[in-house]
Amino acid sequence: EIVMTQSPATLSVSPGERATLSCRASQSVSSNLAWYQQKPGQAPRLLIYGASTRATGIPARFSGSGSGTEFTLTISSLQSEDFAVYYCQQYNSWPYTFGQGTELEIK
Amino acid sequence: QVQLVESGGGVVQPGRSLRLSCAASGFTFSNYDMHWVRQAPGKGLEWVALILFDGRSEYYADSVKGRFTISRDNSKNTLYLQMNSLRADDTAVYYCARVLGGGVWAFDIWGQGTMVTVSS
C-alpha cells in the first residue's frame, strides 16, 4: 500500500497571502495524484487531478505541481472561502490512498 | 444537474448489517466506475470499495474485505454498499463518488454522505 504523507498538519496563513501544501508518496505514483478540498460538514471537492490539472470550475489561484513522489498544492492569494482541509490522493495503484490532510487556517 | 444522493445510514449494533444506497442523476451512470469512501468522526478519508462501470469487477480495502459488498443496478442508476458484521470502527460518514473518467481515476462528483454509527 502506498502511504501518502502531507505536511504540515496545520498551516496558518493570512488572507491574500500564498499557501503551499506538500504531499509525499512512499513510492512513485507518476502524475496520478489528486487534491481535494473539504469544508466542515461538506463532502470533499476535487481541485486538481493529474498532479497539475485544475478540475472544472476551480479558480486559477489553485495550482498543483510535482510528479513521482513529491507534490505541491499552491494557493496564490488566499480568499476567505479557501480556509478548509486539503487532502491529496494517489490513484496510481490499489488501494487508492489519501493523505491525512492539511488544515489551512486563518492567521 | 449531476448529483449523487446517499441514503440508508443510521445507528446499528455491532455484528449487525446495513445497506447503503447512492442514487445517481444527471449523467449516464452505466458509463462510470463508482466508489465508496468513508470518514470517521474527526478523521481523514479512507477509500472503501470500487465497482467498475459494468459491475463485473469489485475491489475492497483490506479493512472491509469479506464483510462489505459493493454492487450496482444500472437500470435503476443506483449504487449499493452491503455492510455485514459491523464493528465500532466502521462508524463513519460514507460517501459515494464518481470517477472522473477518460483515464483519470480521481473522484470528481461526491454525494453529501450518510452517517453510520455502530454502537450497542
> How far is A33 from A70, CA to CA, in rounded Å?
10
With an 8 Å Cβ cutoff, are A89 and B105 in contact?
A: no
Position B103 scores a pLDDT of 83
With an 8 Å Cβ cutoff, are B100 and A96 in contact?
A: no
> What φ, ψ does residue B34 adopt, rounded to 5°?
-135, 150
Position B18 scores a pLDDT of 98
With an 8 Å Cβ cutoff, are B59 and A94 in contact?
A: yes
Q: Contact A103/A8 with Cβ under 8 angstroms?
A: no
Q: Contact A37/A45 with Cβ under 8 angstroms?
A: yes
Mean pLDDT value of segment A55-74: 97
Q: Which residue of A has its CA nearest to B114?
A: A43
The β-bridge relationship of strands B10-12 and B114-118 is parallel
Does residue A94 carry a pLDDT above 90?
Answer: no
Mean pLDDT value of segment B8-21: 97
Reported as a pLDDT band with limits 50, 70 and 90, residue B83 is very high
Reported as a pLDDT band with limits 50, 70 and 90, residue B110 is very high
> What does the block give as the cell for B2?
449531476
With an 8 Å Cβ cutoff, are A98 and B111 in contact?
A: no
- CB distance from B9 to chain A under 8 Å? no
Mean pLDDT value of segment B38-57: 95
A91, A94, A101 member nearest B106 (Cβ): A91
